[in-house]
Structure 1
């Protein structure tokens, strides 16, 4: 009998595993456990089809931009993608999203206000302390509150004051997205100081032995003069020779860029009237509100940037390329230093360079107008840029979401920035492995996108499918579920094997033991 136990167990295991190896069947979409709860899946088709996104960031800091390769799971494909920053950190992110094609009902409208977000070489962990509201079901009131920035590895580069946020997402049970506002998010910060240090520059005041041998614009005498001039500065280059030294409690001093007054971001997605039609158009809007910006605040080289007009970026999609468009109110910034105007930044004059130099006998670097008439060696440049508008659009001829219905329409999107501040090294600073930009601060990043079908968004109750009922029907009794792997039969196989083992033990114990004859 013991000889038959092993073949019998093998046959039983094969019979139990046969269903798992058979042709898989399709598992029906389950219905909700509670009939009164909103459906988990998308349910019946909607009459309205619309997609909209609006995102606004108060400030985004990038260290060594375009210096890290983009990692992908495909070998060699990362070399074809744009390079990423070594580190990025965003402050005061307001995001509003609407998507009628979302499979999960609570993702049809999403509003989010985040105090902070960061990424290191493209890897971005989830940030706590975020205000989020989703729909459906509908939310009569927004969620509001203070946002507390969590501790991050980049705290030495950024100091944030009091943050407030608001998020409101709505959805109509009958008309879907035809409700106002559809998604709305706001953030505001009372004070902000960015780049209290430049980690990409050396933290030692002595550059002896650090300068490369092939510095194009310096001979041996000029290179030694640069080393001597940097030595006399009150702090190393990582603190811009003393311009970033010290960070008082006010957050105004000791930073490359600071905001002494409130900066607010507002993102919204809504449906608006379409002229000459009962249907609606999708409009996504990003708005920034700022008063003034300080560069190198509290130092003799302080630069004041006044925001004369606030930027507004809007994407409007009617479903028709002829009537859809991007509207951008470009900011106007007035730049001054010590009561003297350095220039005006607007759409016609989007760039202004302010040199940073060192000279003998000076304990602090010379910036902008302070260096006029003095012999100096430029080691860096502060580049200010505005009105960087990038637009993309496309004609829709397919589903807005994978597996969704085919939609013919038009989609367009755009990005813009209030102020882009870059710290660039010059050829005279011949340090090894320097990136093309030492640091970059983007103040007020704006992103919008809108998509609508031909003729606009239809605001009408959805037609019930034949047979009634807007939710997925529960599976019929006896209908087999799909076998995704052999784990479905693990428990039966385990208990069957255990039973066979016990039977074998009983049989072995019950049978009398044979005594071997003693050998003479």
Structure 2
């Protein structure tokens, strides 16, 4: 056994040292399984580095905004993140993206038109019925068609008419993003009604025993007057006392916000000329086209909002912080009720509050100043713009493992109209969120990034020896795989140890015990054994 142990130990040491002594190699990128399929990420290198995206939503509905804590796997980190809405629904989403640093070739340009998107407590499932086009390879024509919203658990919140969409994504084999259009997505909706009910409000007209005891602005007599006034309404608070019940004369269903005319959105990412240079700048644009909006349409309290000026949000990155900028054309909205102007929303006056109160007579709540109000129970807050800008100097790879790029990135968000339904202090219901519901009409997001000096639109120079050629199908290229994990070392150790263990078991099992060998070495009947007998032990 000692003679076998030394060679076995030498073999074990040699197998363990083999990975450490091997020449380090890089694992090649795997190629497609089908030889006729274009490689996942291959082709000549592209010198045009550009990243941009633009997103536009025709309408986004949020129930109980900022009321649900954000889940995270990091302990104690959820308190530092902003809270999410209990539920969110987006209608008519148009998204355009361009990313020259994307590893997958078909993700370098993506255009998407989606009829609907929703999230419940921060969880967003995949939505079917979406038009998507990706590049590369290049697409000569866009994909177009009608978008059918799928059935969702939140259908009671909105009703969507005919939706149309278009998506176009392009990519040049040699020049990369230096092609027009680069990414372009459009959506349009013929009609839309949002918030046909308010699930965060009670569905009963009798609030006896439901009001909290610490309502600051009401005494016992005031609380009783509130309860009696709510009992006189034609419908519960979940339908705003009858304002969301529709019109019995015309048969129209009610809604808090509706669009009688076509609303369209467009998101584009493109490269534009850079003054004084042969290079290009990255430009991401989000535009909206709307005519008018109705609040509480079909009721005597209807509020009309006319869009006088259309909003446009643009992010332009030249790679230099001094010349890159965000441009926003703020919308101008005229708010009127019954032919009387309530106010104008523009950059100088971005907010307008319209109160909702119990009527002195009648069975419908009073909105605005059309009639006398006894007690305000809610507020419709209209707000525009809310432009938020962010920027960052680039000094590193835009994608993990990509080349180091020095440049500048900037982005911005804005909204055409933000409608919030807020409760007043008089409505002292328990566990009532600060905002009952929120509708964002025309939500816009843009971002653009470019290297210093702009985007170079020129074919890449292939180094001598064909260094820019794509890897052959299979992706290996005749190179050995790299040791990227400690598991490579444990495999030879495991099998070597197993082999030595089995060898030792066989050797031990094959050799007889020592006592048996000794007895076999003494002739039968010979009493001259080295081991003393019982008689010899007696003195």
TM-score by length of 2: 0.84
Aligned position for 2:441: 443
1:70 alignment partner, SS class: coil
Gaps of 5+ in 1: 1-10, 501-520
Q: Cα 1:106–1:259, aligned 2, differ >3 Å: closer, same or farther?
A: same
In the TM superposition, residue 322 of structure 1 has moved relative to its aligned partner by 1.3
In structure 2, distance between residues paired with 1:242 and 1:483: 67
Tell whether the 8 Å contact from 1:191 to 1:251 is kept in structure 2 after alignment.
no
Say if 1:25 and 1:175 are closer, same or farther in 2 by CA, change over 3 A: closer
Q: Does the 8 Å contact 1:138/1:169 carry over to 2?
A: yes
Deviations 1:227-255 (A, max 9, x none): 00000100000000000014899996410
Which residue of the partner structure matches residue 392 of structure 2?
394
Which residue does 1:122 correspond to in 2? Answer: 122
CA RMSD of aligned residues (A): 2.7
CA contact (8 A) 1:196 1:247 kept: no
User: Hey, what's the Cα distance between the residues in 2 that align with 1:358 and 1:386?
Assistant: 27
Determine if contact 2:25/2:480 at 8 Å carries over to the other structure.
Answer: no
Deviations 1:271-302 (A, max 9, x none): 00111111000000000000000000000000
Kept after mapping to 1: 8 A contact 2:358/2:376: yes
Q: 1:466 to 1:74 in 2, by over 3 A?
A: farther
Post-superposition Cα deviations, 1:316-339, rounded to whole Å, max 9, x if no partner, equal 011111111111110000000001
Who is 2:223 aligned against?
223
Per the alignment, in what secondary structure is the counterpart of residue 384 of structure 1?
strand
1:466 positional shift: 3.9
Q: Could you tell me how far apart the structure 2 residues matched to 1:249 and 1:100 are? A: 58
Q: Report the CA distance between 1:479 and its aligned residue.
A: 3.0
Q: What is the DSSP-based 3-state SS (H/G/I as helix, E as strand, rest coil) of the residue aligned with 1:369?
A: coil
Per-residue Cα deviation, 1:75-120 (whole angstroms, up to 9, x for no partner) = 1101100000000000000000000000000000000000000000
- Please tell me whether residue 303 in structure 1 is matched to residue 303 in structure 2: yes
CA distance in 1, matches of 2:291, 2:226: 38
- Provide the C-alpha distance between the structure 1 equivalents of 2:248 and 2:165, rounded to a whole number of angstroms: 26
Q: Is the 8 A contact 1:412 1:451 kept in 2?
A: yes
In 2, the alpha carbon distance for the partners of 1:273 and 1:181 equals 14
Tell me whether 1:256 sits opposite 2:264 in the alignment: no
* CA distance in structure 2 between the aligned counterparts of 1:483 and 1:322, rounded to whole angstroms: 43
Count of aligned pairs between the two proteins: 479
Report which of the two structures shows the higher radius of gyration computed on alpha carbons: 2
Deviations 1:345-391 (A, max 9, x none): 000000000000003432000000223xx241000000000011000
CA contact (8 A) 1:192 1:251 kept: no
Aligned CA distance change for structure 1 residues 34 and 207 (closer, same or farther; 3 Å) = closer
1:247, 1:255 within 8 Å by CA — same for their partners in 2?
no
Q: 1:143 to 1:362 in 2, by over 3 A?
A: same
Query: Quick one: distance in 2 between partners of 1:251 and 1:421?
Result: 26
Among candidates 459, 462, 475, match of residue 460 of structure 2: 462
Consecutive unaligned residues in structure 2, runs of 5 or more? 1-7, 503-539
Query: What's the CA shift for 1:188?
Result: 0.2
Q: Does the C-alpha gap of structure 1 residues 481 and 186 become closer, same or farther in structure 2, counting only changes over 3 Å? A: same
